[in-house]
Structure 1
Amino acid sequence: MKRAQSPCLHDSGHDERPAKVRRQESLSTPSGSLKRDQEEQITVQHPPSPFSPNPDSENPVNLERQATTRLSLTNTATEHTDKIFDWIPAPSEIGELDNMSQPASKRSRSRSISTDRGRARSLSSDSDRSSARDAKSSAYKAVNYVTILETKGCFMRQSSSGPHPDDIALCERLLHQPIEPPQGTLFDDQYITDFHNALQNRSEARLFVDLHPLLMPSAENQFIQGKTRLKDVIDGYNDLWVKTEPIYGPKPQPDHARGLKWSTFSESQRRRLGIKPDDKSPYTAREDMYFPYVTAEIKCGNQALELADRQNMHSMCIAVRAVVSLSRAAGCPEKVHRRILGFSLSHELEGLRIYGYYPEIDGGNTSYFRWPVAQLNIWTKEDKWACYRFMENVDREFLPIHTDRLIRLLEDVPELEEYSLSDDVEIESQVSRIGSQERSGLRRTTSSLGRGLQPELRMMVQTLQQQLAEQKDREDKLLTQLERQREREEKREAEQKAREEKLLLKQREREDRLLAQLEQLTQKLTK
C-alpha cells in the first residue's frame, strides 16, 4: 500500500536533505517505515535537520532545539515499537497455534512453558527430582525382571530348605523382643491420626522425611545421642553404589542403607581384604561403606511395594554376595550356608514388609533367597512401633553377630602379599630380558603395579580357590564312581563265581548218576 504523503511535510520546505542522507537516517532507527509514519503525525513546526545547508542551524539555540526534538522523536518511536511487539506472539505460542491447525494426533507436546518474548522457563526442581527418581526405578519395572534375576541365581522367595533354624528363631526375637519406644513423636496417640491424614496422597520425599525416621532411624544420629554400639555403622541415603558391580541392570541406589565403616577393620584386615578408601572392592558398596546389612526403599502409589521389593532384592543379593565371597576366600563357605546375612525394609504409607536374605552354597554354585520376616500395617496400635523395635534389636543382637562373623572369616584369609610375591617374581623375570635402561625403569614401577593390582589379584585368588574347590568336588565324584564301579565288578565276579560253582556241582551230580547207572548195568551183566 502506498503511503499518503502529508501536504504539510511536502510543502514545508524544511526537509531539503538529499535522498541518500534521509535513507541512512531512516535505517538507523528501529524501523524506517515506523519513523516515517511517526513523522507524519508531527506538526508543521518541524525543525530543520542538522544536515540541512541552512546557515541558521549553526545557532546554539537552534542546535539545542533540534537535539530536543530528535530525542522526543526517538522516544515516541520506541514506545510505538514496544506496543507493536506487545501483540506479536512468542515463538512457542506460534508453534502452539500451528499445532492447533493440525490434527490432534500430530500435535507436539511442548516441554517448556513460554514466557514473554518467546523465552522458555525451565521446569520446576520438583519435577526434575521426580524424573530422577523415576529413572532410578524404571529398570525394575520390566515385566521379566524377576525371571532375569532367577537366571542369575537370585530368587524372590524362600528355598525349599529355608534358612538355618537358629536364624529363623533369631528373626522372631528381633521382631518381638520388647523395647522402650521413644516418646514425644508424631506416633503418640494425640497426634497419630492427624499425622496419618497429613501424609495422605503425598510424595515419596514427604514419606522419606517424616515417616521413615520413625521406622528406621539414622544409625549415625543415634550414635551421637549415646548408642555406642553403632560406632562402626554408617548410613547411606539415596547413594549410588559406585564401588560394586550390579547383578543385572543399574547399580543399586537404595533410599536408606546401613553398612560398616572403613575404620571397622584394622590395617592387617584391610590388607587381607585389599580394601583401600579410593579403590574398588567386591566388599564395597560406596565410599566408606562395606558389607551392607540393611537396605530400605520407600514408595507410594499402585504396586509400590512390589517395585521396592525388587530393588531391595538386587541390593541385598550384592551385599550377601560380598560375605559369600569372603567365606570362599577364607576356605569355609559352609559357615554362611543358609545363614541370614542381612535384611530389607519396603514400605509405603500404609504397609511395610521385612525380609531376611541368605545364600545356599552347592560347591562352586551360590543361590540367593529371601525369608519373609513380617508384613505390617504401620498405623495399627500393635504394629506402629514394630519396625522401630525390629531395627533396635538388629542393632543390639544381629549387628554384633554380623561383625564377629566377618572378623572370624578374616582370620582365615591369608594376607595379599603372599600372592603378590609370585606376581612380582614373574614381572622381574620379564624385566631381566630387557635392556639395562628399560630394566631400571620397570623395576621402579613393579611395586606400584603390584599395589594397583591388589584387588584384581584378590579376585584371581578367589577364582583359583573356587576352581580348586570345584576340582576337588569333581575328583570326589570320580572316586565315588570308581568305588561304585569296583563294587559292581566285585559283585559281578562273585555272581559269576557262584554260577560256575553251581554248574560244577550240577556236573558232578550228573557224573555221579551216570556212574551209578554204569554200576547197575555192570551188576546186571555179571548176573
Structure 2
Amino acid sequence: MAPRQAKRNVQKRPRGIKTGRPQLPSRKSARLEEIQRRQERTVSKDRNTEPKHPLPSPTSKTPGKEIKDRKRKRSQEDELTLPSNTIGENAAVGDSGEETNLLEYWRREFRWPKEYFELESDVIPGSAAPSPTTTPSDQELTEITPSDQRPRQVRSTPYQHPGYELLLESKGTFMQESDLDISDTSKTVCRTLLEAEQIVPEDSLFRDDVFHKTREMIRNRNEAKVIQDIARLIVPSAQSLAIRGAKSLETLTESVNEGWNNSISLTGTRPQPDYAVGFKRTAFTEDQLQRMQPVIGDFLDISFFMGTMRMYFPFLTCEVECGAGQLSVADRQNAHSMTLAVRGVVELFRLVKREKELHREILAFSISHNDEMVKIYGHYPVIDGNKTTFYRHPIREFVLESKEKWTAYTFTRNVYDTWMPTHLKRICSVIDELPPDLNFEDRRGSS
C-alpha cells in the first residue's frame, strides 16, 4: 500500500504492490480534532471516529519500549493517508524477499521495504547513495513522478554536488575549453552575435529610469522572483517574438521547466531547463520527417534528436539559480542539457558520415544567471574518429548593471535571427541525405 505524503513526495513502487482508490479523510469538527490531538498519550474510548493509528492500550502486552517508540513515530504516521484496500491487496516483497503486507510492515518497522525505492542509475562520485531505510519524505522523487511536476529544489539537487562535474567528465563532457579551442569560424560567429545591434523593448523593467529599482527589487530574492521579473529580459521568448511579428521564428518552439523526456539519457538525471528553445516539427518538410522517422520513432519514443515531444534539436537553454555559489549549479545544468543537444547533431551527421564538419564548431548556447550575474557559453564537440567529447566556450560573463543590461538579450536575439537559420539549414542538408529505408537498428541510442 503506497502512502500519500505530506511533502508530496511520490515514490516508485516495487513489483507486487497494488493500490486502490485512496481513502478520503472524514470530516472532523474542531472539537473532534482537539480530542484527537490529545490522544497522543491516551486512547479514545467513547468517540464515534477513532484515530487513524491508535496507540496501544497501556494494559496491552506491548512492551514499554515499543509504546515509547510508537509515540515517537506518531507524528509520521498521522501524516500518511493509506489506501482503503484489503490486506491481501497490499502485499509487497519485504527486505527478506518474502511477500509481506505493506501496512503491517510499516507498523512493525516504521519504514517502508527497501524495494519500495529505486536509486538513481548513476551515483555522483564521492557521494554516498541514499539509504534504503530512509523515510519516503527524505527520498529523492523517482521517475514515477513526471520530472516537470517536481519542485525546482528537487530537480536541481543532483547538480548541487561538486562531484556532478566528475560524473559529466566520466560521460565525456567537460565544463572547460578544449586545448584545441573552437574553430576560427565559431570565433567569428561569437563576435558577431555579441556585437550586432538589436532593437530592445522600450517599456520594461530594464528601462533606464527604473532599472535601479528593478535591481533593488530582485536583490537576494529566490529563483521564482527573478524568473518572473527579469528572465525574459535576459533571454527573450522565441515564441513571443514570433507572435509579435518575427516570422522567421515561427519554426521554433520552447519549453519552460519541462523535462526532456524524449531524449536518451546521459546520466541518471534527466534535463529540465528553466527555459529551452529548439525546432518545431513544422520546421521540416514531410519528406524530411519521413526520413527521420526510423531514428526518432513515435512521440513517446526517445532518441538523440529530441528534447520534449514537441522539440527537435534543442540549441539554447537558460538556467536561473540564486544564492551564494548557486551559479555553478546552473552551469552544471546547462552543461548537461547542451551535451545532449550537441550530441544529437553529431549523431545525425554520423549517419551520413559527415561528423568531421562539426569538429570544434559551436552547435548550441546556454545562459546562466541570477539576480546580478550573467554567463553566456557556447557548446561544441571535439571529434576524434568514433570518439566525441564535449566542451564549452565562455563567450561573455558580466554583472547585470546599466551598461551591460541588454547584452544577453541582444545576443539571444542574434542567435535567433542570424545563427539559427544557418544551423537549421545545416541540419536539413543532412536529413535530405538520409536513405529512405534507413534501418531502425541504425539508431545509435540502442548501442
Is 1:176 equivalent to 2:195 in the alignment? Answer: yes
How far has the Cα of 1:86 moved from its partner? Answer: 8.9
5 Å matches for 1:122-133?
Answer: 132-133=151-152
Aligned to 2:11: none
Q: Which amino acid aligns with 2:307?
A: A
User: Contact between 2:366 and 2:377, CA under 8 Å: does it hold in 1?
Assistant: yes
Aligned to 2:180: 161
Q: Which amino acid aligns with 2:152?
A: R
User: Contact between 2:342 and 2:363, CA under 8 Å: does it hold in 1?
Assistant: yes
Is 1:338 equivalent to 2:360 in the alignment? Answer: yes
Distance 2:278 2:73 in 1: 48
Q: Could you list the runs of 4 or more consecutive aligned residues of structure 1 that deviate by over 4 angstroms after TM superposition?
A: 82-89, 91-95, 106-114
- The size of the alignment, in residue pairs, is 325
Distance 1:83 1:150 in 2: 57
Query: 1:239/1:83 Cα in 2 relative to 1: closer, same or farther (>3 Å)?
Result: closer
Aligned to 1:396: 417
How far has the Cα of 1:83 moved from its partner? Answer: 12
Is 1:267 equivalent to 2:214 in the alignment? Answer: no
Distance 2:247 2:200 in 1: 18
Distance 1:91 1:245 in 2: 53
Q: TM-score, normalised by structure 1?
A: 0.57
How far has the Cα of 1:336 moved from its partner? Answer: 0.7
In proportion to residue count, which structure has more helix? Answer: 1
Distance 2:257 2:30 in 1: 51
How far has the Cα of 1:396 moved from its partner? Answer: 1.5
Distance 1:387 1:92 in 2: 60
Is 1:195 equivalent to 2:214 in the alignment? Answer: yes
Distance 2:304 2:413 in 1: 28
How far has the Cα of 1:249 moved from its partner? Answer: 2.4
Aligned to 2:19: none
Pick the aligned partner of 2:432 from 411, 416, 420: 411
Distance 1:109 1:197 in 2: 45
Distance 2:412 2:39 in 1: 54
Aligned to 2:61: none
Pick the aligned partner of 2:388 from 325, 349, 366: 366
5 Å matches for 1:54-69?
Answer: none
Pick the aligned partner of 2:397 from 371, 375, 381: 375
Distance 2:409 2:219 in 1: 21
Distance 1:83 1:206 in 2: 37
1:359-394 per-position Cα deviation (integer Å, ceiling 9, x unaligned): 01100000000000010111x121100010101111
Distance 2:256 2:170 in 1: 30
5 Å matches for 1:206-355?
Answer: 206-274=225-293, 275=296, 278=299, 279-355=301-377
User: Contact between 1:283 and 1:290, CA under 8 Å: does it hold in 2?
Assistant: yes
User: Contact between 2:347 and 2:444, CA under 8 Å: does it hold in 1?
Assistant: no
1:258-315 per-position Cα deviation (integer Å, ceiling 9, x unaligned): 0000111112212222245524332111111000000011111121110000010000
Distance 1:229 1:84 in 2: 65
Query: 1:92/1:211 Cα in 2 relative to 1: closer, same or farther (>3 Å)?
Result: farther
User: Contact between 2:208 and 2:402, CA under 8 Å: does it hold in 1?
Assistant: no
Distance 1:171 1:197 in 2: 31
Q: Which amino acid aligns with 1:394?
A: V
Cα RMSD (Å) of the superposition?
Answer: 3.1
Query: 1:91/1:196 Cα in 2 relative to 1: closer, same or farther (>3 Å)?
Result: farther
Query: 1:336/1:130 Cα in 2 relative to 1: closer, same or farther (>3 Å)?
Result: closer
Q: Which amino acid aligns with 2:381?
A: P
Q: Which amino acid aligns with 1:158?
A: E
How far has the Cα of 1:340 moved from its partner? Answer: 0.2
5 Å matches for 1:341-490?
Answer: 341-378=363-400, 380-415=401-436, 417=437, 419-420=438-439, 454=440, 456-459=441-444
Aligned to 2:155: 136
Q: TM-score, normalised by structure 2?
A: 0.67
Query: 1:267/1:202 Cα in 2 relative to 1: closer, same or farther (>3 Å)?
Result: same
Query: 1:186/1:327 Cα in 2 relative to 1: closer, same or farther (>3 Å)?
Result: same
Equivalent residue of 1:90, what SS? helix
Aligned to 2:169: 150
1:433-479 per-position Cα deviation (integer Å, ceiling 9, x unaligned): xxxxxxxxxxxxxxxxxxxxx3x44338x97xxxxxxxxxxxxxxxx
Q: Which amino acid aligns with 1:282?
A: F
Distance 1:109 1:400 in 2: 61
Unaligned stretches of 5+ residues in structure 2: 1-28, 43-54, 56-67, 80-136, 138-147
Q: Which amino acid aligns with 1:407?
A: C
Aligned to 1:58: none
